[in-house]
Amino acid sequence: MSLIKRTTAEFIGTFWLVLGGCGSAVIASSFPNVGIGLLGVSFAFGLTVLTMAYAIGHVSGCHLNPAVSLGLFAGGRFNAADLIPYIVAQVLGAMLAAVTLYFIATGKAGFDLSGGFAANGYAEHSPGGYSMIAGLVTEVIMTFMFLMIILGATDKRAPAGFAPIAIGLGLTLIHLISIPITNTSVNPARSTGVAFIVGEWAVAQLWLFWVAPIIGGILGGLVYRWLGNEES
């Protein structure tokens, strides 16, 4: 498959992840009487990955996340030459989704960004008031586990056809655990898209949501590369 087709698939897939996941948080999470809450937002993120894994997994691998691309590279599953094109496509897809979501959300009278627009944050911008260190540790561990799930579920020795379900449910669980701490990133592209709509504090804190997921992703890739190696 050509690089242009694969990066286009990553662009579309990341667009869907941010529009579906962040859209559920911004529009549906607290809708009067029928708001989906934390549980619904968690499932929304998981369902975006599950649906895209079946839709574009055979085209691009369905990374949708710079930390996943880097983790797969560290795990020996991805070509270094494709890292930058994939990451650029993912970030652009996330940013277009954030712009689209903002356009839709502002169609309701009285909407403003004071609710955070699903941006990731720590300290006073953590949903539960968790510290920067707590956020950093959480994002590293959650992304590490996400890569372990991805690499294990897509291992050639794993049951065929079930990887998207395991990965989607894994992301759901990650959100159930960590939304109160950082609003859950584990994905620098997702964080970047909404941060540049919110501006100010979200951009100032964005560094953590690149650094921590990348560390966790690379560690996950390296550990699974060792763990899954039958020869060592």
Residue 27: alpha-carbon gap to chain centroid: 18
Chain Cα centroid distance, residue 13:
11
Domains in the chain (CATH in brackets) are 3-107+118-227 (1.20.1080.10)
Distances (CA, A) of 174 to 4, 21, 141: 31, 13, 10
Query: Exposed/middle/buried for 165, CB within 10 Å: 0-12, 13-18, 19+?
Result: middle
List the chain pLDDT tens, one digit each, 232 residues. Answer: 899 999 999 999 999 999 999 999 999 887 777 778 999 999 999 999 999 999 999 999 999 999 999 999 999 999 999 999 999 999 999 999 999 999 999 998 888 887 779 999 999 999 999 999 999 999 999 999 999 999 999 999 999 889 999 999 999 999 999 999 999 999 999 999 999 999 999 999 999 999 999 999 999 999 999 998 877 6
- 21's enclosing H/E stretch is helix 3-23
The pTM assigned to this predicted structure is 0.95
Round the CA-based radius of gyration of the chain to a whole number and report it. Answer: 17
Distances (CA, A) of 157 to 12, 154, 168, 220: 29, 8, 19, 18
